[in-house]
Structure 1
């Protein structure tokens, strides 16, 4: 593929390559010079620019470092995530990029165990259900599971984030994947609660109207101490940075933590469910 054949509208990989080339040419750099800066061969850079070689996470992070785009909405990492995980909800790859760098993560979930706490088997069972319903392909299901594992691994750091989780009781009562999958998943929750940088509470059905949320809520505290929120509908994810709308969610989350049973009581509830007791 030569220069005149390059068509950014041919697809996301072609658009990525065209943007990489335009960023290089805007600085009057040769492919050889960019290759030296990114730690690749000039042939590799040429193949990326023309769409013959798809980008990887490593090459995208390297490009962001070279062009000063790390952590921005224009980052090559974000473009790579959108290419690799196009089956995910709009807005979710951007959220995950922030999540990987957050100092604190607060989660509320109803109905299902949140992704960061899911076992591989639990996640695979959920995606298998999506495949049976025809909403995604088997290949997309496999990609989603691998993406989740990568997402969990990104939080394993020398100084891990504080992860605070409140789950509606329905999360531990709803059977996913059969008894063995659920037992392993509930065991994972108990292990999570024992870590030094985590907090886990179960909001029982008896709390009723004291539970302020009816859908999942994700709150991230970033390194500059700003807080962003992420919420989802059935078809779209939405990232919110406006303090006027984020602050009420933070306040409601604190109220939820105050009303919910302690971590010790919550772990005891999980143990009861594992034993099959009410």
Structure 2
């Protein structure tokens, strides 16, 4: 019987399929036998293993139950389903949803975890209109934003530190009413007991230690995870030795940025139309 070779490096779907095949081989099951345990056909298993059919969340959850892998397959499957975001980001989100501390730096737009539904919708609609993503991928993005925001409401909540480049506040998205509501959301966020919000003003000039969007997590076990983005790439980093210098740069950015009180004052001035 011909057995198709899999290249897990070729795509997220191939990596997921290769993992399913590896677990199946370890148990000594055929595709038909695994299908019976998961409530689907052997043909379906074959299609997922070879990357011809993306795994649904339900499929991945059933695979986790059958193989006893906790929720690892379900988390990996998100990288296949979330095709509208950069590589590495779906995995970052799985860590973010459980992190003890979240640190963000964003440029140009308000980060997803702080976006109002109207702001997120206006941003997504414009991206679809440009042809950068499909309408289905736009729905995917909106769904991911909701998942991330819901996860931050868990008990106990994580500590969340956010530094926004001043451009995040000044780049208009949607109508003036949408922007005003979004700025109001930032003020509400800053008032929470588990958050810190700061603005990195244009006046910082070359004193800013970070220039591209950056996300840093401290997990429950106190290990570090970082995610950095350029225009077309995302890079997830889990090696502590590599993340520590990034965390140091983030602390330097916080030290140079406006205090939370001064940041909130700037946001209120913008809401009043004051330069």
TM-score by length of 1: 0.82
Determine which of 252, 255, 267 is the counterpart of 1:258: 255
**Number of residue pairs matched by the alignment:** 268
Q: Decide whether the 8 Å contact of 1:108 with 1:167 is kept in 2.
A: yes
Q: How far does the alpha carbon of each residue in 1:94-131 deviate from its partner, in whole angstroms, 9 at most, with x for none? A: 11111112111100111111111111221222222222
Name the counterpart of 1:270. Answer: 267
Offset at 1:147? 1.6
Per the alignment, do residues 46 and 12 of structure 1 end up closer, same or farther by CA in structure 2, a change over 3 Å counting?
farther
Name the counterpart of 2:26. Answer: 26
Matched residues in 2 for 1:15 and 1:242: separation?
21
Name the counterpart of 2:64. Answer: 64
Per the alignment, do residues 24 and 200 of structure 1 end up closer, same or farther by CA in structure 2, a change over 3 Å counting?
same
Per the alignment, do residues 240 and 8 of structure 1 end up closer, same or farther by CA in structure 2, a change over 3 Å counting?
closer
Q: How far does the alpha carbon of each residue in 1:47-92 deviate from its partner, in whole angstroms, 9 at most, with x for none? A: 8525599644355245335535447xxx322442123112221111
SS at match of 1:218: strand
Matched residues in 1 for 2:261 and 2:40: separation?
54
Q: How far does the alpha carbon of each residue in 1:111-168 deviate from its partner, in whole angstroms, 9 at most, with x for none? A: 1111111112212222222222211112211221112112221222111111100111
SS at match of 1:225: coil
Matched residues in 1 for 2:242 and 2:14: separation?
37
Matched residues in 2 for 1:133 and 1:42: separation?
41
Name the counterpart of 1:199. Answer: 196
Offset at 1:189? 0.7
SS at match of 2:39: helix
1:43 matches 2:39: yes
Offset at 1:31? 9.2
Q: Where does structure 2 lack aligned partners over 5 or more consecutive residues? A: none
Aligned-pair Cα RMSD in Å = 3.2
Q: Decide whether the 8 Å contact of 1:116 with 1:152 is kept in 2.
A: yes
Determine which of 100, 104, 116 is the counterpart of 2:101: 104
1:173 matches 2:175: no
Q: Decide whether the 8 Å contact of 2:38 with 2:63 is kept in 1.
A: no
Q: Where does structure 1 lack aligned partners over 5 or more consecutive residues? A: none
Name the counterpart of 1:229. Answer: 226
Q: How far does the alpha carbon of each residue in 1:174-194 deviate from its partner, in whole angstroms, 9 at most, with x for none? A: 111120111111111111111
Q: Decide whether the 8 Å contact of 1:118 with 1:185 is kept in 2.
A: yes
Matched residues in 2 for 1:103 and 1:162: separation?
6
Name the counterpart of 2:160. Answer: 163
Per the alignment, do residues 13 and 244 of structure 1 end up closer, same or farther by CA in structure 2, a change over 3 Å counting?
closer
SS at match of 1:212: coil
